[in-house]
C-alpha cells in the first residue's frame, strides 16, 4: 500500500531532550516536506526536500533540523525541544516539485508532540 508513515505517533518529552520524528514513504517520491499544525494558525511548512541531499527552510524552521540521506526517509530533528514546539506534525511527499508541476502532496498520519 502506497503510504507515508511517521513514528512515533504520540510523544511526550521534556525541554532540552533531543528527539527525532521519522518519516518514510514507499512511493519513490522526490519531494518531501514537514508541516506543523497549531490551533488558529493552520498548517505551516517547516522544511522541505527536493531530492536526496537537497533540503531547504520553509516558513517556520527555527528549532528544527532535517536530513535526506535516502530518497524514502526524511527525519525531523528537534535538538533542544521547547514547549512552543508542542504541536501536531505532518510529513508529506509528492512525486516531484519541479517548476510548473505542483504534484499533490500526500500526508502521513501525524505525530502529536508535547514538550513539558
Cβ atoms of 8 and 111 within 8 Å: the answer is: yes
Closest approach of other proteins to the CB of residue 58, in Å? 5
Min dist CB 12 to other proteins, Å, is: 17
Minimum CB separation of residue 16 from other proteins in Å reads: 27
Residues 6+ apart with CB under 8 A from 116: 12, 13, 14, 15, 83
**Strand duo 111-115 + 4-7: pairing:** unpaired
Binding site for other proteins (CB under 8 A): 31, 33, 35, 40-45, 48, 50, 56, 58-59, 88, 90, 92, 97-100, 102, 104-110, 112
Amino acid at each position: 500500500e502506497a503510504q507515508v508513515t511517521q513514528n512515533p505517533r504520540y510523544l511526550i518529552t521534556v525541554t532540552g531532550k533531543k528527539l527525532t520524528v521519522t518519516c518514510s514513504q514507499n512511493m519513490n517520491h522526490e519531494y518531501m516536506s514537514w508541516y506543523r499544525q497549531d490551533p488558529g494558525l493552520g498548517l505551516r511548512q517547516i522544511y522541505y526536500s527536493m531530492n536526496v541531499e537537497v533540503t531547504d527552510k520553509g516558513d517556520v524552521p527555527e528549532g528544527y533540523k532535517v536530513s535526506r540521506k535516502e530518497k524514502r526517509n526524511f527525519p525531523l530533528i528537534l535538538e533542544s525541544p521547547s514547549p512552543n514546539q508542542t504541536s501536531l506534525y505532518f510529513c508529506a511527499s509528492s512525486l516531484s516539485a519541479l517548476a510548473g508541476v505542483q504534484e499533490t502532496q500526500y500526508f502521513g498520519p501525524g505525530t502529536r508532540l508535547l514538550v513539558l
